[in-house]
Amino acid sequence: MPIKSFKPKTPGQRFKNVADFSGLTPKKEQPSKPSKLIAPLRKSGGRNVFGKMTVRHIGGGHKRMYRVIDFMRDKLEIPAKVASLEYDPNRSAYIALLNYADGEKRYILAPLNLNVGDPVLASEGADIKPGNNLSLLAIPVGTLIHNIEVIPGQGGKLARSAGNYAQLMAKEGEYCQVKMPSGEMRLLHNRCKASIGQLSNTDHENIAIGKAGRSRWLGIRPTNRGVSMNPIDHPHGGGEGKSSGGGHPRTPWGVPTKGYKTRNNKRTDAFIVARRK
């Protein structure tokens, strides 16, 4: 889907561009949806259940309703048709509304080349077409996949954002080698399910926010540099005049950044065949 830019009639429009939503179903043509597919979404402001801020730079933003996405894909052997392709404010990929043969409606993540009216099926015998859901055992080696389970029956966890995909590289006994979007090679059980294809909205990475206000609409508050702070607030702070901080880059709490590994999960180390690039 192409990107739309603007004539710079105002300073905020000079560098701004937006996704061209021409491939999505217009709002007036979208079918009615049951209320169970939409839920209220409360803002956290970056605070945990105790009211303590655990994530900085979060707050404000436009009101949103949550779209309940079917990551499980557990309606097996029941054919469905794509009723509409829609924008979801809670994620970067687009979503598709499915009409199942038994009358139920569900949202799924929309892959590339999935169009309104296309048939979709979750089954071990389904065709290798975008949107269909199968176990890794039934998917041919080399296929591009998304919404991949880590534990069988738990629901898709991996490769769920715009333009993302993983690739099934090999099968060895009960496990399959999958190349992640990061380049990491990982072993997953062959009973784990995945959906076929690359996810939609591949141009998401090329979108320029363009102005500060647009970040505020998204709920992103300003980020202050460490070197502009006082020493009590940040390890980079202080110094006479404009200093560059000194020492290695680190967080306000002294943890090194830019390449410092913080992963600590020995339980799943054996399933990583090759680290990411």
Give the model's pLDDT for residue 1: 66
From 196, 67, 199, select the one nearest 121 (Cα to Cα): 196
Question: pLDDT digit string (tens) for 15-54?
Answer: 999 999 999 999 999 999 999 999 999 999 999 999 999 9
Question: pLDDT digit string (tens) for 189-241?
Answer: 999 999 999 999 999 999 999 999 999 999 999 999 999 999 999 999 999 99
Give the model's pLDDT for residue 2: 85
Say which residues have a Cβ less than 8 Å from residue 227's Cβ, sequence separation at least 6: 234, 236, 237, 239, 242, 243, 244, 245
Looking at domain 3-206, what is its CATH homologous superfamily? Nucleic acid-binding proteins (2.40.50.140)
Question: pLDDT digit string (tens) for 121-166?
Answer: 999 999 999 999 999 999 999 999 999 999 999 999 999 999 999 9
The β-bridge partners of 193 are 135
Question: pLDDT digit string (tens) for 75-131?
Answer: 999 999 999 999 999 999 999 999 999 999 999 999 999 999 999 999 999 999 999
Query: Do the strands 38-40 and 95-100 form a parallel or antiparallel pair, or are they unpaired?
Result: unpaired
Strands (E), the chain: 3-5, 17-19, 38-40, 65-67, 80-86, 95-100, 105-109, 119-120, 133-135, 144-146, 148-149, 156-158, 166-172, 175-179, 185-189, 193-196, 272-274
Give the model's pLDDT for residue 116: 96
pTM: 0.92
Angstrom distance (rounded) from CA 6 to CA 98: 34
